[in-house]
Structures are given as C-alpha cells and as structure tokens.
C-alpha cells in the first residue's frame, strides 16, 4: 500500500473515501468535519441530530457525497469519549473502518491525523496510529486460496492530509507505523503458513532473506554444530523429526559495544504434536503456530534494523519440529543442556522450555545485558489470563516494567505473574538437576521457573504468548488467525533501551 502525507484541505481531496471522526457527547462539529457537512448540505449534522452518528468507539457511518465533493464518500468514525482517547483506540477504529470499506470496492482513502493534540497525543503518534491501524486491520492471509471470488478487494492508497506546519512530523510517524505494521504482518504470515511450508529450514531461509534485506549478520547452527556446543535440549526435541533442526542467530549492530544490549529469543517449534506425550487430535492443526515467538522475534529485529536505534540486538530462534518417532525423546529420558545442567523429561509435550534452555545458555555466552524470550509455552497461561493478556515473568522488576510499558504503547496487553521461590519445589527431580514439568498446579509459573534456571543472573523476562498469539475473531486491529504479538512490544522495548 502507498502511504503519503499531503498538505491541504481534506474537503478538496479526490479519493474513494475520506475519513473524519466524531466523539461521544460531542456537541458541535470540529473544523474538518464541519466543512464537509457544509458541502453536503448538512447531511452529517442531520445524522447526528437523528442519533445515527453517536461517536461510539468503532462506529462507522458512510455518507455518499453524490458529486458535492471530489471524494465519493465521507466516512465518520466514532472514537468514543474524548477524555479516553488513546493511540490504541485510534489504531483500532481506523482498522475497523478500513475493513468495513474494503468490500465496497474502495481503493483509495484520505484521512486526517485523528486525535492530534488530544490527551497529549502528538501528531507523530496519531499518524503512526493511522498507518498501523490501516495496515494491521487490512491484513489477510489468502496465499493458498485459488478462487479469486473468495479474495477481498484491495485498498491501495492511504493519504493523510495535514497542514504545512506538521507535515514532517506526520511523515515521521506514519513511516514508523508502516515499519511496525509491516513487521507484525510478516510475523502473522510466518505463523499462518501451514507446517509443511514453514519448516525449520524455511524459517531459516526467511531469516536469511531478512538479513540480506536489512544488513543483519546471520549465523545458522546445524545439527553437528549444536552437538559440539552440547545443546542437548534442542537436539533431544529434534530427534523425532525428519526435518533438520536450525538454530538461527541474527545480529543488529547499533552501537560500538561488543555485547548485545538485549537478546530477543523466540520459540521456533514449527509443529508441535506433543511428541510421545501426544496431544489430542482436536485442534492439533493450530500447533503450526507454536513458532509464533520465533516469528515475532524475527519480525522485530527486521523492524529494529529499519528504525536504527543505537543498541546492539541479537535475535535467537531455536527451530525444530516436535513429533513422535522410533528415535523420539521419551518420558523419563535425561538431557544435558548447554552449560551442563541435566533435565529429566517428564513430558515430551513440554518441549518449548527444552529448546529455550539452550537458547538462554547461548545468549548468556554472548554476554548479553538483557534477555527477553517470547514463547507459546503453556496452556496454563491461557487458563490464567485468557486471550486478552500475555503473561510476563521475570527476575528483574526494572526490566519487566519496561517490557509492560512497551506493550502498553503498542496496545499489546501484558500482565506480570508471580515468581516466588516456593514454586521451584515443583520442578525438583530425583534423577537430574531439574525436571521439565512441575505438575498441573501453577503450570505457567513453574514453566517460567524452569527457564529462570537457565537465565541465571542475567536480567530476563519471559513472555508466555500462548493465549495472545492467535485470535479467533476480528476486533479492532486484530484479525482472525495469527496476531503477530509481541512483535511491536519487542521493537518498542529496543527503542526504549537504546535511550538509556
């Protein structure tokens, strides 16, 4: 999609639709919408009086211009109460509006920077929200659909109309919004791909293409190299698959430091059957999304490379399948992770933490200052938080505070979970240093406590995205299928850490 900022009067812009806004409880029309109302002989104000336009959040009202304006339609979107306006509400309302307009054959949209100056929302932030909302809300994944009639139309152009005074700020904001949305949609693409297409090898190929496009240094460890580094967790999980495992490392160099300022680690299980501890067949097809953390991390470092913050970032994605086989990992087996800790395998379906143990060990070997991992780790986190919030677990309060703030800025909600030492008792093993599952009670917490053993004293945050990586319905900027969470959170965090 083409996104551009122009100066001028929105009432004089030629487009298939122009978008303005209205707030709940608003008594009179603002300048932009008032000019359009006058040109339309009072049609908008009449709809307000009749109660058809209420300003309710995500309300969409289409008014046909009938030749009275250069644009074919005027679309009034509701932004809710002005006192409650936020970046996320603008982003969501624009997304809902664009989806509503797409079936009408609309290919070009002109809009204002909704909410600029309200609740301390700068022109940059509002332009970012418009661009993000448009691109995120219009996302589709129809790659494998061959019938043209089943594919939606395409909105090809978004024009943001401004004054000369703020045009550079709107351009900056809309560019950032484009980068963040495109990265999120890239993550969505990877997660939505069927597992026979998005194999560990294909994930590594995608990472290689991103490295070439964005000037990233890439290193992909093969089975033999992992064996030399004694990555027993990774290779133990990979034993059941005929697909070769890939340990993917990408480096972004933003300053002169030798060590990474932050390591972003993403679980890359491209299909999870549960292994010998096999999952129920119902909805097992959704387990193609068990690499959502890896996809988000790959997408995030691509966006970081485009935004160029002054921080070194490493992305680490341990990628493999988890399948049953005569050579597969068995309950009761003992593995040795990178660094020498031994793990008793109680359930082969608790495989994510096994591959992450080696990834955490590798990040620590690099001397990274902070670690954040993202993983579809536990069904227990869905039971605890549903599909609204990502669960956050940490050994450093200052770091998790920054992660949660970065999520709030992106509209990706995160809730901190407890990490009391008493939970460690559940992970104690009689035959090894630790076991890979602590029982049914507090499963999300004991999984995080397992990872904490391998993060050791490095400031670390674990994001359990089991509930937030997929959506079963369209709402605001989210669409059905992969969400791309927490791509934008990770990018925002890198930008924040770069300012320290």
Q: Which domains does the chain have, with CATH numbers?
A: 2-183 (3.40.220.10), 193-498 (3.40.630.10)
- Strand boundaries in 291-375, DSSP class E: 313-322, 334-336, 342-344, 371-375
**What's the rounded mean pLDDT across residues 174-183?**
98
279 labelled catalytic: yes
Torsion sign, CA atoms 171, 177, 183, 186: negative
353 labelled catalytic: yes
Tell how far CA 256 is from the center of its chain: 28
What is d(CA 128, CA 39) in angstroms, rounded to the nearest whole number?
29
State residue 377's pLDDT score: 98
**What's the rounded mean pLDDT across residues 281-288?**
96
Residue 378, token pair as written in the block: 């536990």
User: Above 80 in pLDDT, residue 433?
Assistant: yes
Q: How many CA atoms lie within 13 A of 272 on its CB side?
A: 29
400: alpha, beta or left? (left if phi > 0; alpha if psi -120 to 50): alpha
Render pLDDT for 6-31 as a digit per residue (tens, 0 to 9). 999 999 999 999 999 999 999 889 88
Q: In Å, how far are 22, 73, 200, 214 from 52, measured between CA atoms?
A: 12, 17, 52, 48
Catalytic residue among 169, 176, 306, 353: 353
**What's the rounded mean pLDDT across residues 233-255?**
98
User: Above 70 in pLDDT, residue 151?
Assistant: no
**What's the rounded mean pLDDT across residues 188-217?**
98
Q: Angle 184-185-190 (CA atoms, 0-180°, nearest 5)?
A: 100
Q: What is the pTM of this model?
A: 0.96
pLDDT band at 149; cut points 50, 70, 90: low
Burial of 326 (0-12, 13-18, 19+ CB in 10 A): exposed
User: Above 70 in pLDDT, residue 316?
Assistant: yes
73-78 and 60-64 beta bridge pairing: antiparallel
Q: In sequence order, what are the residues at sequence separation of 6 or more whose Cβ sits closer than 8 angstroms to the Cβ of residue 220?
A: 204, 207, 208, 246, 247, 248, 249
Render pLDDT for 89-147 as a digit per residue (tens, 0 to 9). 999 999 999 999 999 999 999 999 999 999 999 999 999 999 999 999 999 999 999 88
Share of the chain above pLDDT 70, in %: 99
State residue 500's pLDDT score: 66
Residue-averaged pLDDT of the chain: 96
Catalytic residue among 279, 330, 396, 480: 279
Q: Classify 373 as helix, strand or coil.
A: strand
């Amino acid at each position: 999609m083409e996104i551009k900022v122009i100066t001028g009067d929105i009432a004089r812009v030629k487009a298939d639709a122009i978008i303005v806004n209205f707030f709940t409880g608003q008594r009179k029309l603002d300048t932009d919408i008032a000019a359009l109302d006058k040109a339309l002989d009072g049609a908008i104000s009449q709809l307000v009086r009749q109660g058809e336009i209420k300003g309710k959040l995500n309300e969409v009202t289409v008014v046909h211009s009938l030749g009275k304006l250069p644009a074919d339609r005027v679309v009034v979107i509701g932004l809710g109460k002005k006192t409650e306006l936020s970046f996320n509400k603008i982003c969501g309302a624009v997304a809902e509006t664009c989806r509503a307009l797409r079936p009408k054959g609309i290919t070009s949209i002109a809009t204002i920077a909704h909410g600029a100056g309200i609740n301390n929302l700068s022109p940059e932030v509002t332009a970012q929200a418009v661009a993000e909302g448009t691109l995120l809300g219009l996302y589709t994944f129809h790659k494998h659909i061959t019938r043209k009639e089943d594919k939606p139309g395409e909105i090809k152009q978004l024009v943001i109309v401004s004054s000369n005074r703020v045009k550079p700020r709107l351009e900056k904001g809309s560019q950032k919004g484009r980068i963040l949305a495109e990265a999120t949609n890239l993550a969505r693409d990877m997660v939505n791909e069927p597992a026979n297409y998005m194999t560990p090898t294909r994930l590594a190929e995608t990472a290689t293409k991103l490295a070439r496009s964005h000037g990233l240094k890439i290193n992909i460890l093969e089975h033999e190299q992992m064996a030399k580094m004694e990555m027993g967790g990774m290779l133990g999980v990979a034993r059941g698959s005929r697909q070769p495992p890939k340990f993917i490392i990408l480096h972004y160099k933003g300053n002169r430091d030798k060590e990474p300022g932050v390591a972003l680690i993403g679980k890359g299980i491209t299909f999870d059957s549960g292994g010998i501890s096999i999952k129920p067949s119902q909805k097992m097809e959704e387990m193609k999304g068990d690499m959502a953390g890896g996809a988000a991390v790959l997408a995030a470092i691509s966006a970081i490379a485009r935004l160029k913050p002054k921080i070194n970032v490493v992305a680490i994605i341990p990628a493999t399948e988890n399948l049953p086989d005569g050579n597969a990992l068995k309950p009761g087996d003992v593995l040795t992770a990178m660094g020498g800790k031994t793990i008793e395998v109680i359930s082969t379906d608790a495989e994510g933490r096994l591959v992450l143990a080696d990834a955490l060990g590798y990040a620590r070997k690099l001397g990274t200052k902070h670690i954040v991992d993202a993983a579809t780790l536990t069904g227990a986190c869905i039971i605890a938080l549903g599909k609204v919030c990502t669960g956050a677990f940490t050994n450093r309060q200052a770091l998790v505070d920054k992660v949660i703030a970065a999520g709030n800025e992106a509209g990706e909600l995160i809730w901190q979970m407890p990490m009391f030492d008493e939970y460690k008792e559940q992970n104690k093993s009689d035959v090894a240093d630790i076991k890979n599952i602590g029982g049914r009670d507090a499963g999300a917490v004991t999984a995080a406590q397992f990872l904490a053993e391998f993060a050791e004293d490095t400031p670390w945050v674990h994001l359990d995205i089991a509930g937030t990586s997929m959506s079963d319905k369209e709402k605001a900027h989210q669409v059905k299928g992969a969400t791309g969470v927490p791509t934008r959170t990770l990018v925002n965090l890198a930008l924040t850490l770069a300012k320290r």
